[in-house]
Structure 1
Amino acid sequence: MGTLIFSEGNGYGHVARDKAIADRFGFRIMTFGKGAEYCRMRGMDFIEIPSPYRIEKKRKTTRIVTELSELRKFVKPDVMSAIADCFKRTDVVIVDGSPLGLVLATAAGKRTILIANDISAMVGVGNSVSREFASQFLDRFMKRADAVLVPDFSPPLTVTMLNLQKDIPLEFIGPLTERSSQKRHRKKYVVSTLDSAIVKAVERVVGDDAIYASDVGDIRPYYRDCGAVICHGGHTAIMDSLSYGKPPVCVVDGTYSERVNHAAMLERLDVGVSIDKARLSDDSLRCALDYAGTLNQKRLSLYKRTAERTDPLLAIGKILKG
């Protein structure tokens, strides 16, 4: 089978950036859940599996642990076996953001390339992760990967820096963004999230002066001509925004540590603004949008130029040949 991409399916972000790899090299993607939904929406040839996780909910918060013995309690054995069987027929596995994929690929003795923007606990499908197990997991499995690639700007421009472990060798390859042909428009904002609470707030505040992902499906062709991108703080949405020199306005779920860290770093770098979703109101959104106009335009232009001269797929190609 050659090379297979195993993409975490808890949202569109992982598989959206993996599509760029699949298109360049002709690799197939294996995914589930929202990842599979995205592949169908984009008409991609992919391998769909059922969600491999059993999800335990306590107080409306999803708990996924990441140490192997604990992880087994949350994984469906039949799906895990199907993934492992597929990996046995593969030479190289590119794992994007999945602790399960990393475990199974390294356990199969396969050459494994990990793509991750949060390796502080390998969040997977949950918002709440048992950190004590995560550290054991990282020590045991992450260092077995042949390469750990961060699809973000190199320091000091890195947005996901607060989510990275310092003792693991990392290669910053730049944003894995799909450079779509841009469509002209005169809207001030792009709304990349499908979160209904955020979308409704934007509709009340800016109305039809925005292009909504919920209306157009693929939002990427609309970045160039907008003034700011309203998103939920996911890494892929932020990378897309900054790659066009546009400030992300992040409405962030405060229980999602990865996104909280993204927002904090954007504000530290003076290229983005955030609102705690629990405090989202029409007034707070108006203030955030106004504040976005005061951000560091020279630095935003630097992000755009850096993205234009960076080729993460070239870096991946060199690693595959190595």
Structure 2
Amino acid sequence: MKIMIFVCGEGLGHTSRCISLAQQMKTAGHEVLMGAYGYSKDLIKKKGLKTAEIIPEIQLVGDSGSLDLKSSVIATIKSGQFMGIGKIHRTLKEFKPDLVISDSYYTGIFFAWLRKKPVYLMVNQSNMEEFFMGKGILMGCLGNVTKRFYTRVFRKVDGIIIPDFPMPNTICKYNLDFEERVLNSVFYSGPLVGKKYKEVREAELTRPHVLSTIGGFGYREPLFHKVIETARLDRNINYTLLSGPSIKPDKYTDLPENVTIMEFIDEQFPYLKASDIVIAPGGHSMMMEALSFGVPILSFPDMGHIEQENNATSLEEEGCGKRLEYSISPEKLLEHIHQLIEDDAYKDKTQYLRSLSHALNGPETITEMLGSKHMNQNSQKNI
């Protein structure tokens, strides 16, 4: 079977879970082509997966830990990137997929429909209009248009995949709001994680150890500095900080001995397995990876990013970690670090989710489900 996967490249969360799914599909004998852009495309290529370049649908803009949605919309329009939309149609025409999976990339869905291909949408948010709330009349109107748009998409796709734990353990649950008429097409696959816990050899790190993935966007840099200041307060706790593509580690010369800074790495799982806590933004895929490895999370959602804020709230309610604010002091952050290290309740819950993730085996489950549906559809055509 030939499968096309479209990837939303804003942040690496969509990319990491699509890589996991594509690798499993290749292992199962399917031919996979991934549509991606920017550093998302570069990372996919490094994994040895076949890739076609597509256009970005939105350009994110923010400052000092806050996502500026209005500026993001304006920047997207000014970029003129929609002029390259024909590439998507040509790619589908040349590749001739049997089915299409779109991870939050809606342009790919429409062109797949034009070519009468089965389409499955992968999302961890179905209430995107919340992004536009409280931002003025114009943005409110845009939010209403957005809701009508994706509501129609949900009705027409062949299936909706939620790459999260099934209820009641769903971390993205506050971001989900489906009409009753589409609920039968919603499937909770479990996390899509690139490596299984048992097959990962943990990194040689001194414990207790904190892994910080704060870095990716420049507006997170103040929090990056705050984690370093927190590390100075207790030299018995060790830290590995991933700087991300926007922040180079060689600019930090005065570091305490318990801190190591690394550039973005393709393979985080050995570090996850060797850590006691993860400090991360509110991105869904990073949460799925940490929880699938049994590691509690201190989450700092981007201010004004409703999806991340909802994820972090659910994370705390489920007893898997804490939702924190960018304004926190280093002293208070250290208190939370001690709490997550010393309170066994957090470890017990995350270890349970690690076992659940293993049992669900999201990438394999989705691959088998879609393969079975495709065979059934072909059988019906031949009757």
Shorter chain as denominator, the TM-score bin is: 0.7 to 0.9
Structure-to-structure mapping, 1:53-72, within 5 angstroms: 53=58, 61-63=68-70
Amino acid at match of 1:204: E
Q: Counterparts of 2:362 and 2:46 in 1: how far apart (Å)?
A: 24
Partner of residue 173, structure 2 = 161
Structure-to-structure mapping, 1:261-276, within 5 angstroms: 261-276=310-325
Partner of residue 226, structure 2 = 201
Q: Counterparts of 2:110 and 2:321 in 1: how far apart (Å)?
A: 35
Partner of residue 15, structure 2 = 15
Higher Rg? 2
Q: Counterparts of 2:195 and 2:67 in 1: how far apart (Å)?
A: 37
Q: Counterparts of 1:87 and 1:227 in 2: how far apart (Å)?
A: 44
1:291 aligned to 2:298?
no
Which consecutive residues of structure 2, in runs of 5 or more, have no partner in the other structure? 27-31, 244-261, 374-383
Q: Counterparts of 1:186 and 1:119 in 2: how far apart (Å)?
A: 41
Alpha carbons 2:60, 2:67 under 8 Å: kept:
no
Amino acid at match of 2:325: D
Q: Mean Cα displacement is larger for which, 160-169 or 9-18?
A: 160-169
Deviations, residues 110-150 of structure 1 (Å, cap 9, x unaligned): 111111111212899xxx87431222012221221111000
Q: Counterparts of 1:4 and 1:247 in 2: how far apart (Å)?
A: 34
Q: Counterparts of 2:300 and 2:13 in 1: how far apart (Å)?
A: 16
Amino acid at match of 1:138: Y
Deviations, residues 4-27 of structure 1 (Å, cap 9, x unaligned): 110001111111111111112231
Alpha carbons 1:54, 1:76 under 8 Å: kept:
no
Amino acid at match of 2:347: Q
Matched position secondary structure for 1:119: coil
- Describe the shift of the 1:122–1:116 C-alpha distance in structure 2 as closer, same or farther (beyond 3 A): farther
Partner of residue 183, structure 1 = 202
Q: Mean Cα displacement is larger for which, 240-249 or 24-33?
A: 24-33
Amino acid at match of 2:285: T
1:236 aligned to 2:285?
yes
> What is the aligned counterpart of 1:108 among 104, 107, 115?
115
Matched position secondary structure for 2:191: coil
Amino acid at match of 1:200: H
Partner of residue 106, structure 2 = 99
Alpha carbons 1:229, 1:248 under 8 Å: kept:
yes
Partner of residue 190, structure 2 = 174
Q: Mean Cα displacement is larger for which, 154-163 or 306-315?
A: 306-315
TM-score normalized by structure 1? 0.86
Partner of residue 303, structure 1 = 353
Matched position secondary structure for 2:282: coil
The number of equivalent residue pairs is 313
Alpha carbons 1:152, 1:160 under 8 Å: kept:
yes
Q: Counterparts of 2:19 and 2:302 in 1: how far apart (Å)?
A: 26
Deviations, residues 216-264 of structure 1 (Å, cap 9, x unaligned): 6132221122111110110011001111111111111121000000011
Amino acid at match of 1:81: G
Partner of residue 246, structure 2 = none
Alpha carbons 1:15, 1:39 under 8 Å: kept:
yes
Give the Å deviation of 1:283.
2.4
Alpha carbons 1:212, 1:219 under 8 Å: kept:
no
Q: Counterparts of 1:204 and 1:55 in 2: how far apart (Å)?
A: 28
- Describe the shift of the 1:202–1:73 C-alpha distance in structure 2 as closer, same or farther (beyond 3 A): closer
Partner of residue 268, structure 2 = 219
Q: Mean Cα displacement is larger for which, 130-139 or 9-18?
A: 130-139
Pick the structure with more helix per residue. 2
Partner of residue 157, structure 2 = 145
- Describe the shift of the 1:96–1:300 C-alpha distance in structure 2 as closer, same or farther (beyond 3 A): same
Give the Å deviation of 1:154.
0.7
Q: Counterparts of 2:130 and 2:44 in 1: how far apart (Å)?
A: 22
**Higher-RCO chain (CA-CA 8 Å, sequence separation at least 6):** 2
> What is the aligned counterpart of 2:87 among 56, 76, 82?
82
Identity of counterpart residues, as a percentage?
Answer: 21
Q: Counterparts of 1:284 and 1:34 in 2: how far apart (Å)?
A: 35
- Describe the shift of the 1:220–1:198 C-alpha distance in structure 2 as closer, same or farther (beyond 3 A): farther
Amino acid at match of 1:183: E
Give the Å deviation of 1:72.
9.3
Alpha carbons 1:154, 1:174 under 8 Å: kept:
yes
Alpha carbons 1:2, 1:91 under 8 Å: kept:
yes
Alpha carbons 1:53, 1:76 under 8 Å: kept:
no
Give the Å deviation of 1:193.
2.9
- Describe the shift of the 1:136–1:73 C-alpha distance in structure 2 as closer, same or farther (beyond 3 A): farther
Amino acid at match of 2:190: G
Q: Counterparts of 2:229 and 2:50 in 1: how far apart (Å)?
A: 38
- Describe the shift of the 1:247–1:55 C-alpha distance in structure 2 as closer, same or farther (beyond 3 A): closer
